Amino acid sequence: MSIIIDCHGHYTTAPKALENWRNQQIAGIKDPAVSPKVADLQISDDELRESIEANQLKLMKQRGSDLTIFSPRASFMAHHIGDFSVSSTWAAICNELCYRVSQLFPDHFIPAAMLPQSPGVDPKTCIPELEKCVEQYGNVGINLNPDPSGGHWNSPPLSDRHWYPIYEKMVEYDIPAMIHVSTSCNACFHTTGAHYLNADTTAFMQCLTSDLFKDFPTLRFLIPHGGGAVPYHWGRFRGLAQELKKPLLKDHLLNNIYFDTCVYHQPGIDLLTRVIPVDNILFASEMIGAVRGIDPETGHYYDDTKRYIEASTILSGSDRHKVYEANARRVFPRLDAALKKKGK
C-alpha cells in the first residue's frame, strides 16, 4: 500500500490576518509610518488548525492523499513587490506559518520554503533563510522563482552562474527545488493560466540549451503543472536538443528534472504518462489552488488528480507506486529520512 504523497501544496487558506498584514506591509513601502511590525501579526494555533482542518486536510481525507509537501501560497510570494528587506520579512513570516502547520499536523504536512528573492538582488541573499528553513524547520525542498520580476523576465536564465550560490546549497543539503513563479504583473500574462505555464516551459528550455547538470550532477528540479507545454511538445524538445548537438534528453535532463501531475483532465494525464518516463513523474494536486471548480464533463473536481492516476490504463500497479510514493522519496531525500524516522 503506497503512501500518497502530494508534492505540490500551497498554504492558500491561511487566516485572513496574514493577507491583512501583507497589505499593510505593501502600504508601508510608500508610507513607512504605516509599516507593520512582525509582532503585529498574531495567528494562534487554533486559527491555523481551523484553516487546515476545514480545507486542505478535509480534502486530503476525502480524496485519499496522506502527506503534502507544503509551501507558502505561490501567488503571495510576489517577489517583485518592494525590496529585499520586504521580501525577506515576508518570506520569514510565510515559512514560519508552514512550519507551524507541519508541527500541528506532522503526519500530513511537511514544509518546503519560499525564498526572499528580489529582482536584481544577488541570490546569495536568500541563503540565510534557506539554511534556517532546512536546519530549524526541517524543510525538505524549496520553491525557486526563475522570474522574480513577475512576468518581465529580467533575471539571467537558470543555467547562469547567477544562480549557482542557491544550487551549491541545494546540493549541500540534498534538496530539490520546485521551479515556481509567482503573481504576474505583466498584463499580457494571466498568472495561473499563462505565466505559470510559460515559466514551466521556459525553465525546461533554459536547462536544455545549457550544460547546467554537468556542473551540478545531483541538482534536482521539479517542474510543476505537468511541465507546462513540455510533454505536449516532447518531439520538438527532443529535436531541438539534437539540433543543438546535446545528448538525448533521457541523458541530458531526465536524471535531474521531474514533473508533477497538476494536470486537470484525464487526456492530459494520459499524455504526460505516455511521454514522460514514469520515474520522472511525482503525484501532486496543487490543492487548494488555481482551479477549484467541478468539471461538468465528469462531475468531479478538476484538481482531484488522484482520480486520473487511478483511472489510467497506461500505468501499472508498480508505476502508480512510483508516482504516489517512491519517486517523491527519491527526489526529496529529506522527506524519505523523515518518513523512515517514523517507521514508514
Whole domain around residue 55: which residue ranges? Answer: 5-341
Please report, for the domain that includes residue 268, its CATH number: 3.20.20.140
- Answer for the pair 195, 80: CB distance below 8 angstroms, yes or no: no
H or E segment and range at residue 7: strand 5-11
| Cα–Cα distance measured from residue 62 to residue 85, given in angstroms and rounded to the nearest whole number | 40
Q: What is the DSSP letter of 294?
A: B
Residue 1 pLDDT grade (very low, low, confident, very high; cuts 50, 70, 90): confident
Q: What is the DSSP letter of 225?
A: G
Per-residue pLDDT averaged across 208-226, rounded? Answer: 97
The pLDDT value recorded for residue 162 is 96
The pLDDT value recorded for residue 194 is 85
Catalytic residues: 286
Count of domains for the chain = 1
At 237, list the grid cell: 524538445
When the pLDDT of each residue in the chain is averaged and rounded to a whole number, the result is 95
Q: What are phi and psi of 301, to 5 degrees?
A: -65, 140
pLDDT tens digits, 234-272: 999 999 999 999 999 999 999 999 999 999 999 999 999
- Determine what percent of the chain is predicted with pLDDT higher than 90: 90
- Determine what percent of the chain is predicted with pLDDT higher than 70: 100
Please, which residues bridge with residue 111 across strands? 70
16-21 long-range contacts, CB within 8 A, separation 24+? 17/41, 17/42, 17/43, 17/47, 18/43, 18/93, 18/94, 18/97, 19/76, 21/93
The pLDDT value recorded for residue 290 is 84
pLDDT tens digits, 291-300: 989 999 999 9
Instruction: Provide CB contacts within 8 A for 93, sequence distance 6+.
Output: 18, 21, 38, 41
Helix axes 56-63, 45-53, angle to 10 degrees: 40
